Amino acid sequence: MGVLLLMADTRDTGPRVGSPLWAYLVAVTTIGSAFLVATQWLISPGQLLDFVRSPLFWMLTALVVLGELRPVLLSSSMTVGGTYPSTMFTFAALLHYGLPVAMLMQAVGMVVNGAVTRKAWHRVLFNIAQATLACAAAGAVLVMLGGHLVRDVLWVPQGPDMPAIVLAGLAYFAVRALLVCGAVALHERRSIYRVLRATIGQQSLFYAGLLGLAPLVVVVMNHSPALVPLFVAPMAAVYVTATLSVRRDHQATHDGLTGLPNRKMLVVSTEEALAESRPGERVGLLLLDLDRFKEVNDTLGHPVGDRLLQIVAHRLTHSVRPGDVVARLGGDEFAVLLPSVRDAAAAREVAARLRVALTEPVRLEGMTFDLDASIGIALHPDHAPDFEMLMQRSDVAMYLAKEGRTGVEIYIADKDRNSPERLNLLGDLRRAIDGSELKLHYQPKLELSGGRVRGVEALLRWRHPERGMISPSEFVPMAEQSYLMRHLTQYVIDAALEQAACWWHAGLREQISVNVSARDLLDSSLIDLLEAGLAHHDLPPEAIQLEVTERVLMTDQAYTADAVRALASLGVPLALDDFGTGYSSLVRLQRLPVSEVKIDASFVRRIGESEDDERIVRSIVDLVRSLGLRSVAEGVESDEVAARLADMGCELAQGWLFAEPMSAAEVTDWLRERRDREGADLGLLRPAEVL
């Protein structure tokens, strides 16, 4: 076995004094050191002097040292480090010279390795001790089968000696594997069975090759010592091949920018942790999203943003417990797997430690950035039975933490509107997005005074293959609490821009409005999505309009206000939807960079029936006009309501009185007929929404 992964930790502070790992390392180091010292007394000064005078002795020592300088890594995901080729030459020394010389050579090689790689003393001592005990086990097997601890005559194995050599090799490998994996298990608080299962396969094959070649090294040493260095060639070939294989494996399972495990590796690690979790033990998944990270990219560019992500990755990996897995899911989203956690309070402690590490100011390009993150926590078996559910529910918790600006939230079922039936629907929705089951319908928006069309509003429709039409009120809120919201928004914006391109390039310059949720506004990729889509379809920013609800702006003022300003700076028109339901102040409304305010249909429909609602609508129209904005009445269904709205000074309206939502083909024909009837190109346009 190679050195431990824990032994490669750059912090190198050593285990905490008094901990089980500390006690284990001290015990192994003490016993191994005692064996090393004791066995040296078995060899006489004269014998040692004879060995030292032999060029072959120094050649073999050099090969052991050379083989200790760099391990052969068999997999990028292995729990322990690589396997050192020195094993082959150490075992050959054991067979040829006896136990004391083999132990001494191995110790010298590991000391040189520690000096070259600047390992901490506790690492070097433990590695020497575990290799010494492995040699002692192999030597004990040889003695029991007729061999000697110290060779009076240099020994060359023959055919009948092979069973003893095989058993000695098995003893050597078994002791090193148990000692190293035992330390890893204590360090990462995992079962030794799990550590062995994760590493024993490939390690055993490579060790079989190394130990199997050792007798051949001894034979060559006896017959033609000058040929011994030729064994370096196949070792070099194995090293290069293994390195290329590990590099490909690492690229497939790790993020190229930060070097962290990617989603694929996270899935595998989580499933392993779930399969091996014991009763009373919990597995935790933390989903972490950086707050306002886009400001860095916008201010200093993506290269600086990439450097910042690398700093974040470094801080996260140095703030988690041994055995925890930090992964990058993409963008500024990270995940932390806790394979074993006591309870929700312990998971929250880990999350708090991560936030503290991230809040330390970062200085880049002469500027100082204050980072923060929102973290959602979900636990198995408390909240979810499998990886997908853990991811979904930690995502819900993370969104709640971001929405409430609390920093850390643990999943609470009462705050999750996803019933088992809805979770099944969530899976169907994921397939619907990929399978083009979702369609956009469009409802025109018209001037109340002249009847001109001033754009269209896009309405999302889902025809389920079994359940038929499903209302957006069912699946959109569900998507908002899951990882699907980003995909759903991307689908709607892409479809709306594609339709807008068809109209604009055909002379129908109709603006399409799309509603965006709070989740969308908190997503730093929204601006990039719009910018790329407009460029791809060769459209001006005014070809699409985004609608944000008043409730969203009131709930997330700190973050959404910045997002709205960023959208306005892009040139995309903004509308405030459902106005009148969120109790926005005049000052708040005045500061928002919106050009249009939509009056909620719940007030419009009751005009003529309720004097209070009519006064509310009139007040909104007057307020909006005083701010230099357009007012749009939603849900207009009668001539009487339309006439009253026109008298109030409301500019635009939409509803079934004018046109019902239509498919893309139907609304295209409708717009062309309308244009032909009016005899002019209808310049301005109108919005499309997700809901």
Structure token pair of residue 237: 């070939």
- The domain boundary, picked from 191, 217, 252, lies at 252
Structure token pair of residue 538: 């060769």
Mean per-residue pLDDT over the chain, rounded:
80
Phi-psi group of 376: left, alpha or beta (phi > 0 → left; psi -120 to 50 → alpha; rest → beta): beta
Mark whether 192 and 294 lie in a shared domain.
no
Tell me the pLDDT tens digit for each residue of 161-171: 788 888 988 88
Predicted pLDDT at 558: 44
Tell me the pLDDT tens digit for each residue of 268-308: 889 888 887 877 788 999 999 887 676 666 556 677 778 88
Domain assignment of residue 172, given as a range: 6-252
Cα of 242 vs its chain's centroid, Å: 27
Q: Is it the case that residue 591 has pLDDT exceeding 70?
A: no
Q: Is it the case that residue 228 has pLDDT exceeding 80?
A: no
pTM over 0.75: no
> What SS3 state is found at 574?
strand
Residues shown for the chain: 691
47-56, 270-279, 679-688: lowest mean pLDDT where? 679-688
* Mean pLDDT of all residues in 531-540: 92
Contact 549, 569 (CB under 8 A): no
Number of domains in the chain: 3
> What SS3 state is found at 371?
coil
Residue 686 in any domain: the answer is: no
Residue 89 in any domain: the answer is: yes
Q: Is it the case that residue 133 has pLDDT exceeding 90?
A: yes
Query: How many Å apart are CA 319 and CA 338, to the nearest integer?
Result: 12
Structure token pair of residue 433: 């997005």
Predicted pLDDT at 497: 94
Predicted pLDDT at 22: 86
Q: Is it the case that residue 580 has pLDDT exceeding 70?
A: no
Query: How many Å apart are CA 611 and CA 626, to the nearest integer?
Result: 22
The CATH number of the domain holding residue 335 is: 3.30.70.270
Give bridge partners of residue 408 from the DSSP assignment.
Answer: 375
Residue 687 in any domain: the answer is: no
**Residue of higher predicted confidence among 377 and 75:** 377
Report residue 78's pLDDT band, with 50, 70 and 90 as the boundaries.
very low
* Mean pLDDT of all residues in 52-70: 82
Q: Is it the case that residue 391 has pLDDT exceeding 60?
A: yes
Predicted pLDDT at 11: 42
Mark whether 30 and 128 lie in a shared domain.
yes
Query: How many Å apart are CA 60 and CA 66, to the nearest integer?
Result: 10
The DSSP secondary structure of 587-611, one letter per residue, reads: HHHHHS--SEEEEPHHHHTTTTT-H
Query: How many Å apart are CA 121 and CA 324, to the nearest integer?
Result: 25
Residue 299 in any domain: the answer is: yes
Contact 500, 510 (CB under 8 A): yes
Residue 346 in any domain: the answer is: yes
- The domain boundary, picked from 384, 416, 448, lies at 416
Query: How many Å apart are CA 641 and CA 645, to the nearest integer?
Result: 6
Count of Cβ atoms closer than 10 Å to residue 212 Cβ: 15
Contacts by residues 364-367 (CB-CB < 8 Å, ≥ 24 positions apart):
364/296, 364/300, 364/304, 364/307, 364/308, 365/300, 365/304, 367/299, 367/300
Mark whether 454 and 523 lie in a shared domain.
yes
Mark whether 293 and 397 lie in a shared domain.
yes
3-state helix, strand, coil in the chain (%, to 5): 60, 15, 25
Mark whether 620 and 508 lie in a shared domain.
yes
Report residue 422's pLDDT band, with 50, 70 and 90 as the boundaries.
low
Structure token pair of residue 197: 């299962």
Q: Is it the case that residue 12 has pLDDT exceeding 80?
A: no
Q: Is it the case that residue 340 has pLDDT exceeding 90?
A: no
Tell me the pLDDT tens digit for each residue of 619-650: 889 988 888 889 999 999 899 999 999 999 99
Predicted pLDDT at 82: 66
Contact 64, 214 (CB under 8 A): no
Report residue 61's pLDDT band, with 50, 70 and 90 as the boundaries.
confident
Phi-psi group of 405: left, alpha or beta (phi > 0 → left; psi -120 to 50 → alpha; rest → beta): left
Predicted pLDDT at 503: 93
User: Which residues make Cβ contacts (< 8 Å) with residue 294, sequence separation at least 6?
Assistant: 524, 527, 566
Contact 337, 270 (CB under 8 A): yes
Query: How many Å apart are CA 196 and CA 495, to the nearest integer?
Result: 51
Contact 479, 472 (CB under 8 A): no
Query: How many Å apart are CA 478 and CA 433, to the nearest integer?
Result: 14
Kindly state the DSSP code that residue 224 receives in the 8-state scheme.
Answer: -
**Residue of higher predicted confidence among 161 and 489:** 489
Percent of the chain whose predicted confidence (pLDDT) is above 90: 16
Count of Cβ atoms closer than 10 Å to residue 446 Cβ: 24
**E strand or H helix that includes residue 103:** helix 99-117
**E strand or H helix that includes residue 460:** strand 453-464
> What SS3 state is found at 545?
strand
**Residue of higher predicted confidence among 384 and 682:** 384
- The domain boundary, picked from 231, 252, 273, lies at 252
Residue 190 in any domain: the answer is: yes
Q: Is it the case that residue 496 has pLDDT exceeding 90?
A: yes
38-42, 348-352, 490-494, 507-511: lowest mean pLDDT where? 38-42
Mark whether 327 and 208 lie in a shared domain.
no
149-153, 272-276, 569-573: lowest mean pLDDT where? 149-153
Tell me the pLDDT tens digit for each residue of 22-33: 888 899 999 999
Mark whether 125 and 273 lie in a shared domain.
no
Which has the closest alpha carbon to 235: 90, 84, 111?
Answer: 84
**E strand or H helix that includes residue 456:** strand 453-464
Query: How many Å apart are CA 136 and CA 142, to the nearest integer?
Result: 10
Mark whether 157 and 210 lie in a shared domain.
yes
Predicted pLDDT at 654: 92
Cα of 285 vs its chain's centroid, Å: 11
Mark whether 605 and 642 lie in a shared domain.
yes
Mark whether 243 and 270 lie in a shared domain.
no
Query: How many Å apart are CA 393 and CA 379, to the nearest integer?
Result: 9
The CATH number of the domain holding residue 448 is: 3.20.20.450
Residue 685 in any domain: the answer is: no
Residue 93 in any domain: the answer is: yes
Mark whether 353 and 236 lie in a shared domain.
no
Q: Which residue has the tokens 């357009």?
A: 630
Q: Is it the case that residue 413 has pLDDT exceeding 50?
A: yes
**Residue of higher predicted confidence among 608 and 495:** 495
> What SS3 state is found at 478?
helix
Cα-based angle 319, 325, 327 (whole degrees, multiple of 5): 95
Predicted pLDDT at 129: 92
Report residue 75's pLDDT band, with 50, 70 and 90 as the boundaries.
low
Query: How many Å apart are CA 573 and CA 567, to the nearest integer?
Result: 8
Structure token pair of residue 384: 């979810």
Mark whether 229 and 269 lie in a shared domain.
no
Count of Cβ atoms closer than 10 Å to residue 98 Cβ: 25
Among 252-261, 356-365, 591-600, top mean pLDDT goes to 252-261
